[in-house]
Amino acid sequence: MPLRRSLAIKGENMLSDREIEAAKLRTKYSLNEGPHHEHSDCIRIAYEWLDAQIKLKGTTKKAYPLKHIIEKWAGRYVSRTDVDVAAELHPEIKGKYPYFNISSKLTRPNIKRLEGIAQAFTQNYNEGVGDYPYSREE
20 pLDDT above the threshold of 70: yes
Burial classification of residue 101, based on how many CB atoms lie within 10 Å of its CB (0-12 exposed, 13-18 middle, 19 or more buried): middle
Is residue 78 situated within a structural domain? yes
Domain count, the chain: 1
What DSSP designation does 101 have? S
Q: What percent of the chain has pLDDT over 70?
A: 87
Question: What's the whole-number mean pLDDT along residues 51-66?
Answer: 94
Is residue 1 situated within a structural domain? no
Is residue 2 situated within a structural domain? no
Q: What is the pLDDT of residues 86-110, one digit of tens each?
A: 999 999 999 999 999 999 999 999 9
CA distances to 14, 40, 54, 58 from 44, rounded to whole Å, are 7, 7, 18, 24
Q: Is the dihedral of CA 99, 101, 29, 8 positive or negative?
A: positive
Band (pLDDT 50/70/90 cuts) for residue 14 is confident
Structural domain span for residue 19: 12-137
